[in-house]
Amino acid sequence: MKKINYISIILAAIWVLQACGAESNSGNEESATDGRWEEIKESGEIVVGTSGTLFPASYYEDDTLTGYDVELMREAAARMDLDITFETMGIDSMLPAIQSGRIDIAANEIEATDKRKEEFNFSDPYKYSYTSMVVRKDDNSGIHSLEDLAGKKAGGGATTIYSQIAEHYGAEVITYGNAPNEAYLRDVHNGRTDVVINDYYLQKFGIAEFPELDIHLHPDLKFRPTEQSIALPKDADRLTEEINHVLQEMRDDGTLSELAIQFFEEDASQKPDVEMKEIEGLDF
């Protein structure tokens, strides 16, 4: 009789362990298929935040939204069998729009910093670059080193890393809304500001659009390598996996390189072979 009881107890324990294991596995499966991905799949549409004012990454050509980030996302959505809708907004509004659910993701030359990773998921990088400065041609706006930013006026978005760099070195940041490149560049030309710190590729092409302005890329200051990624809701792990999968496909079949060369005339999907200075003492 006792033997039968022992066997019953052992069988009951095995059943409990199996049940616990099944519950644990079910929880893992649920976390791998996040709610945002399920909503997007069910609707058949992904909503992407971008500025429409950041040439040549996100801008309007006549009435059509285009650019490297925009066409990259169109291709990614097609490979995921999704329709795509773009919501244009200022960079300072994009990350809050992800958190509020107004948009699903943001693609606008966004950098995955350590602080941002605490609140958002990020895709693998789709673009590599470094930081440069737009200054006046005649005297480089009096800037010969990063330390010379002290006391200068720097045009930028309120929450961008580039504005944080300017403030770190003592510059006063003049903020803009969702303004076009011309507003930033013309203000350097006319002396309202002294410098715009931003991505090398974006600034190179922004300057080329306005040859009448007395501005250029600083010839000596190249610093802080950067990686641009797609921003997603925190813990949207399945959505992140799906986007990373198509980005890798596009890298493997050459689509990323083709799009980068189309819009930047250089392969910005690869790390640049440029000597640049690192910046220390900043907590991004």
**Domain-located, residue 31:** no
The region of weakest confidence among 92-96, 129-133, 155-159 is 155-159
Task: List, in order, residues 6 or more apart from 3 with CB less than 8 Å away.
Answer: none
Residues 43 and 124 in one domain: yes
Residues 219 and 233 in one domain: no
Strand 53-54 with 120-122, pairing: unpaired
Distance CA 275, CA 7 (A): 72
Distance CA 226, CA 231 (A): 15
CA-based nearest residue to 134, from 187, 87, 88: 187
Q: In angstroms, how far is CA 279 from the centroid of its own chain?
A: 20
Residues 48 and 117 in one domain: yes
Q: What CATH number is attached to the domain comprising 85? A: 3.40.190.10
Which of these three, 171, 198, 224, is where a domain ends?
A: 224
**Domain-located, residue 8:** no
Rg (CA), the chain: 24
**Domain-located, residue 29:** no
**Domain-located, residue 276:** no
**Domain-located, residue 191:** yes
Residues 65 and 89 in one domain: yes
Residues 69 and 206 in one domain: no
**Domain-located, residue 14:** no
Distance CA 61, CA 38 (A): 33
The percentage of the chain sitting over the pLDDT mark of 90, rounded to a whole number, equals 79
What's the pLDDT at 6?
Answer: 46
Determine the Cα angle at 160 with ends 158 and 166, to 5°.
85
Helix (H) or strand (E) holding 154: strand 153-156
What's the pLDDT at 24?
Answer: 38
**CA quadruple 182, 187, 190, 194: dihedral positive or negative?**
negative
Range of the domain at 212: 129-224
pLDDT tens digits for range 187-230: 999 999 999 999 999 999 999 999 999 999 999 999 999 999 99
What's the pLDDT at 277?
Answer: 86
SS3 39: helix
> What's the number of domains the chain is made of?
2
Given a cut of 70, whether residue 23 has pLDDT beyond it is no
**Domain-located, residue 9:** no
**Domain-located, residue 284:** no
The region of weakest confidence among 4-18, 31-45, 247-261, 266-280 is 4-18
Residues 53 and 93 in one domain: yes
Residues 242 and 165 in one domain: no
pLDDT tens digits for range 38-54: 999 999 999 999 999 99
CA-based nearest residue to 230, from 88, 69, 30: 69
- Banded pLDDT at 16 (limits 50, 70, 90): very low
Given a cut of 70, whether residue 13 has pLDDT beyond it is no
The arithmetic mean of pLDDT across residues 84-108, rounded, is 96
Residues 53 and 182 in one domain: no
Task: Please state, rounded to an integer, the average pLDDT across all residues of the chain.
Answer: 89
Which of these three, 192, 224, 256, is where a domain ends?
A: 224
Residues 116 and 169 in one domain: no
